[in-house]
Structure 1
Amino acid sequence: MPDRLPTHIGPFALGTFGDGSRVFPGLVVGPRVRDLSDLAPSVRAVVEDWEALFPRLADLAQETADAWHALADLRVLAPIEPGQVLQSGANYRKHVVDLVAAEKESVHGATPEEARADAERMMDERIRGGVPYVFLGSPRAICGPYDDVLLPALGEQHDWELELALVIGRTGKHIPAEDAMSYVAAYTICNDLTTRDQLYRPDLKAIGTDWFTAKNADTFLPTGPFLVPAAFVGNPTEDADVRITLRHNGVVRQDESTKDMIFDIPRLIAYVSTTTTLRPGDLLLTGSPAGNGAHWGVFLKPGDVMEAEITGLGHQRNTVRSGQ
């Protein structure tokens, strides 16, 4: 366990835990965890029957029987094994404006004022008529919220990207944006690490980005600590003031509201469901705000510590190690 217990908004949350001899799904209520093995074999199974089991979870959260563990005595694992991992890119306005403006200055010779004004206009147009940019990640990259992150042998520019993630709770295809929020079961935290200098293949320039190598190394997706039901969070892009904050070796690098998203959660769900059928347990990452290592000119090295939190969802603390 970390030095401080993770906390969550609302009366309860879900997680996956180890007690030294086994792994089990748990209902988290403050500093206590109730073993849910008598209800379902995994958190994924709970989400797959979300509509029926959610009221039961609310009842169990009120119980005081001796099926409870102290959270401090357990190992906190990644809360769910997802079906699909869908990842949104370039979805925070300030982040994308910074990137576009920097390119216009360095490549096209624009003044800082001209570059930023052009970038702002581009974002306004993208919001009005554009579509999200989404790609697939590997569930094998997931690790726990307090596990070590192991740097792969390939590449040197290993970067952080803290993101709000949502878990799908209903099966759907061609989901209208106005109905999309009813498909969200819960929210969690993901740090979608990227090896920047492996993102583009010099031998295949015409093909473009190599997301597989750059983003899917083992431990490159710290997830959790919990799944916090959407009913307790609201709509993070409209109703709630949800902040995404990451510290690298104690220095704040990312600190942004989810309201800065270019495409909100309903539009993301509507977009991805035009291509793939969404099923309970699918994980959708909503993009990373400004403040990545590439922005600061600082990348991850062995011994570094990342501390991350999103309002109401808990926190992560990952130490970086060499995986070579």
Structure 2
Amino acid sequence: MKFASYKSGRDGQLHIVSRNLKRAFRITDIAPSLRECLDNWETLLPDLQERHQRINAAGQVDNAKRFHTPSCSAPLPRATQWLDGSAYVNHVELARKARGVPMPDSFWTDPLMYQGGSDNLLGPCDPITGNPDWGVDFEAELAIITDDVPIGCSAEEAHQHIMLVMLCNDLSLRNLIPEELGKGFGFVQSKPPSSFGPVAVTPDELGHYWQEGKLSLPMQVYFNDQPFGHPDCAVDMTFNFHELIAHAAKTRPLGRGTIIGSGTVSNKDKSTGSCCLVEQRMLEIIASGQPQTRYLQPGDKVRIEITTPDGQPLFGAIEQTFTGSH
């Protein structure tokens, strides 16, 4: 099944979306929002499946409308929590190499993860704001939404707790990060609200591309309408989503509606490009000692999407423009 939240109030207005992302059908009679839908998932599942079948059968839903991405908020505009991992460790290794800092061996065996703000998540077409001097950067990621995860959940058990999969643009203010992390705590000011793709998808909709907590398809990133990166989401993913769930739940349970991000998708083969500006800058520093790629400036556009080899969209697209200061 595929779900979208059209902008309405704090939690959006729940719609079910056809597989080809051409039609959307408001299902607020079943649940007003995805937040409430998740909370009552087991009870509502038969009705959800029936609507899903109808919207994918031509002519079966008379009042279905053309799906309209600009009307969408994040699928969960307010999430239980937002935890972002760094599953592509070669991306972290590059960053440290560019700074001349060795990387601890433990980074390859124990995931990095931070807790971001979850109370005001951005939709796929919402503007990116901020002071250009802060070094505003995009980060194309995959994310999951969990159900209730018990404390101590193992990676082997974690697969049953993934409810939905979606796209994420985890925005970063690169020039604020060093001083903030230098204080010895974590991100706050350097991590503004993240953006999410228009459609959240149940794992079964991903077919054989979804295996062992990984998605074997390229993350397609365009910067100012030019191809910027297309690394495969499964290749070089050191920690799959099962392992990220287990890491997050080691000492605490996770509430239903928790979002976990993969971190910036990155392949060791750099012919596939990059999913964020800072990685391109790191490669330039390593090659020549100086970065040439700039961070976002007002008017810059980023597009993030994943399609099947025959061009079918899975999650819709994140299409954002950087507008500068608030």
TM-score range, shorter chain: 0.7 to 0.9
Q: How many angstroms does 1:254 deviate by? A: 3.1
CA 40–133 in structure 1, closer or farther in 2 if over 3 Å, else same: same
Distance 1:75 1:295 in 2: 32
Q: How many angstroms does 1:293 deviate by? A: 1.2
Conserved? CA contact 2:145–2:165, under 8 Å:
yes
Pick the aligned partner of 2:80 from 80, 83, 87. Answer: 83
Does residue 1:14 correspond to 2:16, yes or no? no
Q: Deviations over 1:108-147 (max 9, x none)?
A: 9xxxxxxxxxx7xx76x743xx211111111244111011
Conserved? CA contact 1:15–1:28, under 8 Å:
yes
Distance 1:69 1:103 in 2: 51
The equivalent of 1:251 in structure 2 is: 226
Q: How many angstroms does 1:243 deviate by? A: 1.8
Conserved? CA contact 2:168–2:194, under 8 Å:
yes
Normalized per residue, the structure richer in strand is 1
Pick the aligned partner of 1:157 from 135, 149, 174. Answer: 135
Distance 1:211 1:269 in 2: 20
Instruction: Give 5+ residue unaligned stretches, structure 1.
Output: 1-11, 109-118
AA at the equivalent of 1:24: Q
CA 163–41 in structure 1, closer or farther in 2 if over 3 Å, else same: same
CA 277–152 in structure 1, closer or farther in 2 if over 3 Å, else same: farther
The equivalent of 2:36 in structure 1 is: 45
Matches within 5 A, 1:84-233: 84-89=81-86, 91-104=87-100, 126-127=107-108, 130-152=109-131, 155-201=133-179, 205=182, 207-208=183-184, 210-216=186-192, 220-233=193-206
AA at the equivalent of 1:168: T
Instruction: Give 5+ residue unaligned stretches, structure 2.
Output: 55-59, 267-273, 281-292, 308-313
Q: Deviations over 1:73-124 (max 9, x none)?
A: 97122111211001113x21432332243344xx69xxxxxxxxxx7xx76x
Distance 1:236 1:165 in 2: 15
Does residue 1:58 correspond to 2:49, yes or no? yes
Conserved? CA contact 1:18–1:74, under 8 Å:
no
Q: How many angstroms does 1:237 deviate by? A: 5.5
The equivalent of 1:295 in structure 2 is: 279
Conserved? CA contact 1:164–1:187, under 8 Å:
yes
Pick the aligned partner of 1:266 from 224, 236, 242. Answer: 242
The equivalent of 1:33 in structure 2 is: 24
Q: Deviations over 1:212-266 (max 9, x none)?
A: 00012xxx41112111011222535566422222111123333212222111111
CA 165–241 in structure 1, closer or farther in 2 if over 3 Å, else same: same
CA 93–257 in structure 1, closer or farther in 2 if over 3 Å, else same: farther
TM-score (norm 2): 0.79
AA at the equivalent of 1:223: F
Distance 1:159 1:165 in 2: 18
AA at the equivalent of 1:280: R
CA 295–240 in structure 1, closer or farther in 2 if over 3 Å, else same: closer
Distance 2:325 2:26 in 1: 33
AA at the equivalent of 2:14: P
Conserved? CA contact 2:144–2:260, under 8 Å:
yes
Distance 1:28 1:98 in 2: 39
Distance 1:87 1:182 in 2: 20
Conserved? CA contact 2:70–2:125, under 8 Å:
no
SS in 2 for 1:51: helix
AA at the equivalent of 2:319: R
Conserved? CA contact 2:298–2:322, under 8 Å:
yes
CA 313–65 in structure 1, closer or farther in 2 if over 3 Å, else same: closer
Q: Percent identity?
A: 24
Distance 2:251 2:306 in 1: 29
Q: How many angstroms does 1:179 deviate by? A: 1.0
Conserved? CA contact 2:144–2:259, under 8 Å:
yes
Distance 1:189 1:236 in 2: 17
- CA RMSD, 1 decimal: 2.7
Distance 1:139 1:40 in 2: 21
CA 134–74 in structure 1, closer or farther in 2 if over 3 Å, else same: closer
SS in 2 for 1:143: coil
